[in-house]
Amino acid sequence: MPRHSLKKIANHINRMIPKIIVDTSVIVKWLNKSNEKNIDKADKIMESALRGEIELFAPELAKYEYGNVLLKGKQLTPNEAVISLGTAYSLPINFVGESEEIAQETYKLAHELGITYYDASFLSLAKKYDATLITENIKHQGKHKDIKVESLQEQ
């Protein structure tokens, strides 16, 4: 089979698997469960990803955010953090670096919606990948007619 045909098939399959953007409020639940709500719902999402039913994405920024949550919010010791960070790097999440195109879209969304650049970075990925953003902090993600945002609680 010609190489270009295989690429077309792979692209078609990739479009068929739902893409989910998870924000830091969801990722943290997989790293350290203490004082977290809706763990069962987050775990259901992870199980779907592990079965290949969905594909998970997050901006590279999420790594810095969950690191800060573990340090300042959960106040883990360095030894405790080793376990959580090890878990983080084994999760089936595609972390996406910021490109000029994504940066411009993120800035535009942040400006339009009056939200932080950080929050808009998750929305811009959802828009780019035609994905659903799942968050526990739905009020911080703003509302945009072209971007689907769902609350973790509703999963």
Cα separation of 27 and 87, whole Å?
Answer: 10
Crossing angle of helices 100-113 and 117-128, rounded to 10°: 120
The mean pLDDT of the chain is 91
In order of 72, 116, 155, the CA distances from 78 in angstroms are: 12, 29, 33
Q: Indicate whether 6 belongs to any domain.
A: no
Helix (H) or strand (E) segment spanning residue 53? none
Note the pTM of the prediction, 2 decimals. Answer: 0.88
For 119-133, how does the pLDDT look when each residue is reduced to its tens digit (9 = 90+)? 999 999 999 999 999
Helix (H) or strand (E) segment spanning residue 153? none
Q: Indicate whether 3 belongs to any domain.
A: no
Q: What is the pLDDT of residue 19?
A: 97
Amino acid in position 95: F
Say if residue 3 is exposed, middle or buried (CB neighbours under 10 Å; 0-12, 13-18, 19+).
Answer: exposed
Q: What is the pLDDT of residue 52?
A: 95
In order of 7, 148, 150, the CA distances from 23 in angstroms are: 30, 13, 11
For 87-126, how does the pLDDT look when each residue is reduced to its tens digit (9 = 90+)? 999 999 999 999 999 999 999 999 999 999 999 999 999 9
Say if residue 15 is exposed, middle or buried (CB neighbours under 10 Å; 0-12, 13-18, 19+).
Answer: exposed
Q: What is the pLDDT of residue 148?
A: 93
Q: Indicate whether 45 belongs to any domain.
A: yes
For 32-81, how does the pLDDT look when each residue is reduced to its tens digit (9 = 90+)? 999 999 999 999 999 999 999 999 999 999 999 999 999 999 999 999 99
Q: Indicate whether 22 belongs to any domain.
A: yes
126 touches 142 (CB < 8 A): no
Q: Indicate whether 109 belongs to any domain.
A: yes
CATH of the domain at 88: 3.40.50.1010
Q: Indicate whether 4 belongs to any domain.
A: no
Q: How many domains does the chain have?
A: 1
The whole domain housing 50 covers 17-154
SS3 content of the chain, % helix, strand, coil (to 5): 60, 15, 30
Q: What is the pLDDT of residue 146?
A: 87
